[in-house]
A and B are shown apart, each in its own frame.
Chain A
Amino acid sequence: MRESIVMKVHYGTALGSVVLVAVHILFRLTMDFSESLQYENVVANYQFIPYAILLELVLILLSVHGFNGLRVILLELKQGRSYEKAVTYGCLAAMAGLIAYGSKTILMTSMGMT
């Protein structure tokens, strides 16, 4: 994939994350902060489908943005064909792993499988 496409995705995920994370944080301020973290309220949030979709989107956007950023930093630190391949695929794997792990939490909680 051309680097310009990757960086456009990086910028796009950044802008998307800003909006969605702001909404995510505001949800915690709809009531007292410590109250909003109570088990029942959190589960109720997950079971509200639009919020679950928002969480899933935040997870994907932030994972892509964060791990691409890490890939850029690691590529700048050292160069070499095998190292660069390892960094790229490593970051992709970590990204996929985190998305899978987080999606499992969102899916199972929203379906009431806690």
Chain B
Amino acid sequence: MSEAKQIAEEKSTNEPISSAKTITLRIAKFNPKHDSGAEFANFKVPYERWTTVLDAILDVKKHLDHSVAVRYSCRQASCGSCGMKINGRPRLACFTKISELNSDVITVEPMNNFPIVRDLVVNFERLFATHKKMQPFIIREDSEITSDTKEFLQTPEEHEKYIQFANCIKCGLCNSACPTMATDSSFMGPQALTQAYRYVADNRDKGKDKRLKIIDDSHGIWRCHFAGSCSQVCPKGVDPAMGIQLLRGYLLGFRK
């Protein structure tokens, strides 16, 4: 008994089960209907090694301030709902651990370059509208499969040419990080342009000329200056900057 007690005592002093660490979570609170500007509300939140920013926000929502508006869903970086600015950089809240930020103060704000609905929730209408403008579907004359079943064959090499860009979860982080979108509301944005390339690079698609005409605009692909911030923040490895430059290669005659 005394031996067991001794072991328990040793374990409790050498290996704490809970870290009991806290950070200050600053959440931007703003309701456009009656506030003139955002104000930060500070909350002390406990965290563990595995706590994500989304966990912390939901902790605040549950125990401290029920009114915090936040959009989230899958909690595993699949749906793209929880995009926000965390310590000045657009990230997915569910995919960002507090411990990796190396800061006692975590500031969360709504993503830039999107109209604010409330607090951390932003309006995605423009992103979806621009995405739809790219005709994000396979365009070909013979797309109806007749009774003599027709397969659209694709080799692994052909598949590899576009699959990376199909990983886009429409989280909008790239549009938030883009320096052109910071001032140009008419710019199509890295998300839409990358999706244009996703379909142009797909050998099943025959709509390349149509899409190239759409993006060849004064607020289209030419307003991308290869700053690369979109690729820096993309949580799914889509690398929008690569897609946009490869797409531009078609317009410049580097690719046919």
- The residues of A with any CB-CB pair to B shorter than 8 Å are 2-4, 6-8, 11, 72, 75-79, 84
Q: Does B49 contact A (CB under 8 A)?
A: no
The answer to whether B218 and A77 touch across the interface, beta carbons within 8 angstroms, is: no
- The residues of B with any CB-CB pair to A shorter than 8 Å are 180, 183-187, 216-220, 222-223, 251-252
9 residue pairs from A and B, CB less than 8 Å apart: A3-B216, A4-B222, A4-B252, A11-B252, A75-B218, A75-B219, A76-B184, A76-B223, A84-B218
In the assembled complex, which residues on chain B have CB atoms less than 8 Å from the CB atom of A4? 216, 222, 251-252
Complex Cα gap A6–B223 (Å): 12
Main secondary structure of the interface of B (DSSP, over half): loop
The answer to whether A72 and B223 touch across the interface, beta carbons within 8 angstroms, is: yes
What's the nearest-Cβ distance from chain A to residue B210, in Å?
A: 15
Residue of B at shortest CB range from A88? B218
Complex Cα gap A72–B220 (Å): 12
Residue of A at shortest CB range from B187? A76
What's the nearest-Cβ distance from chain B to residue A11, in Å?
A: 8
In the assembled complex, which residues on chain B have CB atoms less than 8 Å from the CB atom of A2? 216
Complex Cα gap A82–B220 (Å): 19
**Other-chain contact of A79, B186, B216, B217, B251 (Cβ < 8 Å):** B186
Residue of B at shortest CB range from A11? B252
Q: Identify which of A2, A77, A84 gathers the most chain B CB atoms within 10 Å of its CB.
A: A2
Complex Cα gap A76–B224 (Å): 10
In the assembled complex, which residues on chain A have CB atoms less than 8 Å from the CB atom of B183? 76-78
Complex Cα gap A11–B185 (Å): 25
Complex Cα gap A75–B220 (Å): 12
Residue of A at shortest CB range from B185? A79
The answer to whether B184 and A3 touch across the interface, beta carbons within 8 angstroms, is: no
In the assembled complex, which residues on chain A have CB atoms less than 8 Å from the CB atom of B251? 4
Closest 7 CB pairs of A and B: A76-B184, A79-B186, A4-B216, A3-B222, A4-B251, A3-B218, A7-B222
